[in-house]
Chain A
Amino acid sequence: MRIQQISVFLENKTGRIADVTRLIANAGINIRAISIADTADFGILRLIVDKPTEASEAISKGGFTTRMTDVLAIEIPDQPGSLAKIMEIFKETGVNIEYLYASLEKDCSTAVVIFKVEDIEHSLKIVAEHKLSTIDSF
């Protein structure tokens, strides 16, 4: 299923990621997956957390620009070929991916891959048709 991702606008300045993670820590929120997209001038921090609404509020209050986006979280076995299989399904069914990043589950037997897709309704349909294992929180 879909899951909420928090994006945070960051200037390329030392210590800005520390500032954001401190805000999240102080709110007692756990980060489950994290990635950063960087350009020459700025970065976009993307986070999956256990309490997205609270986290977004805490980060915004700290003076950052944030945005909530629906993304797909798909659970795959932590073994060779798992991701390739999903990517092939997406390729054949025309699911266009903007970006993705991954996180390992605690028991290390599965991985969670976060996908930002162009058309989330279409991709949810494909995910259901192919009985892929999605999660709505972790």
Chain B
Amino acid sequence: MIWNPQYECQESVERKLLQFARLKNLVMTLYSRVPFYRDKFDAAGVKPRDLSSLADIAKFPFTVKDDLRETYPYGLLACPESEIEEIHMSSGTTGVPVVDAYTRYDVECWEEGMARTLSGAGATRHDTVQNCYGYGLFTGGLGCHYGAKRIGANIIPMSSGNTAKQLMVMRDFGSTIIASTPSYALFMAEEARETGYDIKSMKLRAGCFGAEPWSENMRKQIEAAWGIDAYDIYGLTEITGPGVAFECECKDGMHVNEDLFYPEIIDSETGAPLSDGEKGELVFTTLVKEGTPLLRYRTRDVTFLARGNCACGRTTAKIHRLFGRTDDMLIIRGVNVFPSQIEHALIEIEGTDPNYVIVLDRGATHLDEVELMVEVKKELFSDETKTLETLRNKIEGVMKSKLGIQLRVKLVEPKTIERSVGKAKRVVDRRKI
């Protein structure tokens, strides 16, 4: 199913003209309305008039995650505050959130992007979409919700967790499309088997899986466990949330909604643009966003771009399944976490020397399990177990509220944490994806 053939199957020349017109409009808007960008342009010695072709975008400065932190909350607004109708956030590197502020039109474009995404997985108005992405500040829940509404499907806003109820609803209401993290889909299948559900008699036929890295191997596992087609989807809060890129039935890369988002691949060391097919850092420019438009936003995701007509009929560029990241961001149960956030949170807990290591694993449950090992220094130590247990619970509580993930704190002896050349190794990732 192609939701919007006009844009998804557009001739390459026409698309480039459209992108250029939109990009020109964007740089002018940023220069005239966003002091942050005006300063950035001036510092780089570029003016909106320097954009005379799409390739000229390379003359313009990048936007990075820290720029969003420094301009929190409304420093990147390109429209009057009264036009903003919705706010979403995800975690920044230090605990200051990254904000996406949507106007009515921005929400409409988000719906459009997600309608295309769900259609890519074959969804129509006759489908029942069970949405297991979390509702709230996280873009996954509402983004998927809006997309399903746009195509006129029946949407069940389950949000994340409560697996027993998820399975009951899936069976009783005959959900045909599921949207969740891939690891949660595997976890649910396991639970369904253990609690005696007859998976074959379920009506589920496809799933849109994103918000965390996964592999072809996991795709095979999910498809076999549920008897469905599993599609990879891509998005990030900064750009809009989900709905940026999605797989079609060819399952060979994710189609970028190029009329809305302009993709580039760059060398993450030098910032130089790379050609199609070359692996590098993915950069996005929002072409039509009104609230918080971004120019050349460095996603830190590593992939490559492939162009050419797809067998599905779409002509949009595709990004390959992500290869990894150029920074130390972790994705834990779909939540973005930076080791630096853990460090900041630990410093805030009185007396806690932030000597820690975070151990990630995926056990029999297929879900991410997180253990935070914290060294017990002299200042923290007590002869009473209850004091140490209180400390442990406090750290767990602070991490839950600051990072939004449940982790298990283990107090360990000093110097247990491996140090390599004076610098401690902060992350041990044992997950096999």
**Taking beta carbons and an 8 Å cutoff, which residues of A are in contact with B?**
5, 7, 9-11, 16, 37, 39, 41-42, 44, 46, 63-67, 69, 98-99, 116
**Given A42-B388, A66-B378, A116 and B383 contact (CB-CB distance below 8 Å):** yes
Contact A65–B377 (Cβ < 8 Å): yes
9-residue interface stretch from B65-73, B175-183, B405-413: B405-413
B382 within 8 A of A: yes
**A-contacting residues, B348-382, CB 8 Å:** 376-378, 381-382
Assembly CA distance A42 to B382 (angstroms): 12
Q: Which residues of B contact A44 (CB under 8 A)?
A: 382-385, 388
Assembly CA distance A19 to B376 (angstroms): 18
Q: Which residues of A contact B377 (CB under 8 A)?
A: 65
Contact B384–A98 (Cβ < 8 Å): yes
**Given A44-B388, A65-B376, A65-B378, A11 and B413 contact (CB-CB distance below 8 Å):** yes
B389 within 8 A of A: yes
Q: Name 24 interchain pairs, CB-CB below 8 A, sorted by A.
A: A5-B383, A7-B381, A7-B382, A7-B383, A9-B376, A9-B413, A11-B411, A16-B413, A37-B384, A39-B388, A39-B389, A42-B376, A44-B382, A44-B383, A46-B383, A63-B415, A65-B376, A65-B413, A66-B378, A66-B381, A67-B382, A98-B384, A116-B383, A116-B384
B416 within 8 A of A: yes
8 more CB-based (< 8 A) A-B contacts, given A9-B388, A11-B411, A65-B414 = A9-B376, A10-B413, A39-B388, A42-B411, A44-B384, A65-B381, A67-B381, A116-B383
A69: contacting residue among B383, B388, B413, B415, CB under 8 A: B383
Contact A63–B413 (Cβ < 8 Å): yes
Assembly CA distance A16 to B413 (angstroms): 11
Shortest Cβ distance from residue A10 to the other chain B in the assembled complex, whole angstroms: 7
Contact A37–B415 (Cβ < 8 Å): no
Contact B385–A37 (Cβ < 8 Å): yes
**A-contacting residues, B247-293, CB 8 Å:** none
Residue of B nearest to A5 (CB): B383
Assembly CA distance A98 to B387 (angstroms): 11
Q: Which residues of B contact A65 (CB under 8 A)?
A: 376-378, 381, 413-414
**Given A44-B383, A67-B382, A99-B384, A11 and B412 contact (CB-CB distance below 8 Å):** yes
Assembly CA distance A96 to B416 (angstroms): 35
Q: Which residues of B contact A41 (CB under 8 A)?
A: 392, 410-411
Residue of A nearest to B412 (CB): A11
Assembly CA distance A41 to B389 (angstroms): 10
